[in-house]
Amino acid sequence: MESAFRSVQLYVTWWFLQSHDMTVGLSVTLAIVSFFNTIFIPISGTWSNKVPLPNYIARTVHLGCFTLVSLLIALRLLEDTNYSLWVLIILMVFLGIATALLRPLSMKVINGLFQGEVAISKAYQTKYSLAILNILLGPTLSGFMIEAYGGKAPLVCAFLFCGLAWLGATIFKNTSLSCFGKFSVYKATRGGWMTELIRGFQLSFYVKEERAIAIMSILLNCFFSPFMFLLLPAVMIQLHAYTLREVGLIELCLGVGIVISCTDHVTSFVKRKLSLYHACLLYITMLTGSFFLFSMLSNVLLLCFAGAIMGAALNSFNVVVNARRLHCIPTSHQAIMEGCFVFLCTAAVPVGFILTGTLMRIFSSQKVIGIYASICVSPVLFLYASVSAKRMFQPNVQADYYAKQYPELFHCL
């Protein structure tokens, strides 16, 4: 489903940048889509507690597929009319919502299938390494398809991906319902889904460790999505006179970096040399450094190298942080806390698109990346100075650490 959404997103980028040359319009559109995509993430964390997980996934995928088919039909019927832009934005919003409803579910699935922090960490490595499929089947393939067959080629790719998602969700529902039913439904004892939503936000705010990680992730997410889908295409196409083929190549290298970071040789070497806390500090420093490289380089090969560094650092940071969070969060609160955490991490994305569009009116795209790189130094300093984050990453931290650290908070909420 994610690949279909990214393919449509690349079509939108082509439509604004190469077909209509509307950079500001692209930033506004992506901001609108990201806004609705974001607000449905925490809602998914509460809704998924009321329905067996396979049923919930199947219904969400069916919604996304129906939306994409409606988008293809509408664009065909309303092409070159005054309504085509509005239809594109509205249906993109619904496709983004369907994608958002699937995002907070990984913690719930991994916790049910794996036991122990080592197994959980490997599960997260597998999950994030599979992101290369979204890159290969989404932006990269669509970028090459645009160059070969024209701007509408990503829509064909998106249609095929939706068909595969529909088939996969149906098979998953029919084969996994009995396995997932025992931990898919968590009964709320203090109210409905709105009460659960409020409870998740309260826990995310009052637990110091969650708050520290959320602050770092908010700062990073504010810049990463605008960089990938607005700044990078603008720099490559408008400043360096490349095409979406080169953009897709850099994004492919980002995916290669993700895969390399998950190999046993790399992970075992880091574990031997660094503690979890220092590894996390290294990864976030590498991520900040990759932003600086993109602000200074213009050669495609060097930019591909910077993309690989960015992918490896981002993936490794996510694996370490989320594996430790799953270890620390009580099972009964994982769905609502993960939904609220993902919301807090991605809520900055629409703001980031608007901020990026504003700065691009004043500075060149590459200078904007340099500004973002300078700001990204602050998460490095924040992690270095955070006492609660250091305590959370200690090797002797027990399971359900948050409940033991804040017993009165989890008991009251």
Following DSSP, what letter does each residue of 86-153 receive, concatenated? HHHHHHHHHHHHHHHTTGGGHHHHHHHH--SHHHHHHHHHHHHHTHHHHHIIIIIHHHHHHHHH-TTH
Average pLDDT over residues 45-62: 79
200-212 residue pLDDT tens: 788 888 898 888 8
| Residue 315 CB contacts under 8 Å (≥ 6 apart), including other chains | 125, 128, 129, 131, 257, 258, 261, 262
Question: Could you give the C-alpha distances from 277 to 223, 274, 320, 321, 394, in angstroms and in order?
Answer: 23, 8, 9, 9, 7
Instruction: Return all residues near 56 (Cβ < 8 A) that are at least 6 apart.
Output: 47, 48, 105, 184
Q: What's the CATH number for 2-180+193-412?
A: 1.20.1250.20
Nearest to 389 by CA among 287, 275, 286: 275
Residue 190 pLDDT greater than 50, yes or no: no
pLDDT of residue 188: 43
Q: To the nearest whole number, what is the mean pLDDT of the chain?
A: 80
Residues 35-44: pLDDT tens digits? 888 788 877 7
Q: What pLDDT is attached to residue 140?
A: 66
Q: Are 46 and 196 in contact (CB under 8 A)?
A: yes
Between 6-15, 153-162, 281-290, 356-365, the lowest mean confidence (pLDDT) is in 6-15
Distance CA 108, CA 394 (A): 24
Mean pLDDT of 239-263: 83
Give the SS3 label for residue 366: helix
Query: What local confidence, expressed as pLDDT, does residue 134 receive?
Result: 66
Q: What percent of the chain has pLDDT over 90?
A: 10
**For 322-332, what is each residue's pLDDT tens digit?**
888 888 888 77
Q: Which residue has the tokens 């605008």?
A: 226
Higher pLDDT, 321 or 412: 321
Give the model's pLDDT for residue 133.
61
What's the confidence (pLDDT) of residue 181? Answer: 52
pTM of the model as a whole? 0.71
Parse the chain into domains and list their residue ranges.
2-180+193-412
Q: Confirm if 311 and 254 have CB atoms less than 8 A apart.
A: yes
Q: Which two tokens stand for residue 159?
A: 């249609």
Question: Average pLDDT for residues 310-339, to the nearest whole number?
Answer: 85
Tokens 């075992």 sit on residue:
268
Give the number of other Cβ atoms within 10 Å of residue 391's Cβ: 15
Q: How far apart are CA 240 and CA 294, in angstroms?
A: 12
Q: Which pLDDT value is given to residue 217? A: 84
CA dist 351 and 31 (Å) reads: 7
Which residue shows structure tokens 């990269």? 140
- Distance (Å) of CA 24 to CA 83, 211, 298, 338, 367: 19, 33, 23, 33, 17
Which tens digits make up the pLDDT trace of 59-93?
888 888 998 888 888 877 876 676 777 887 888 88
Task: State the Cα–Cα distance between residues 339 and 106, nearest whole angstrom.
Answer: 10
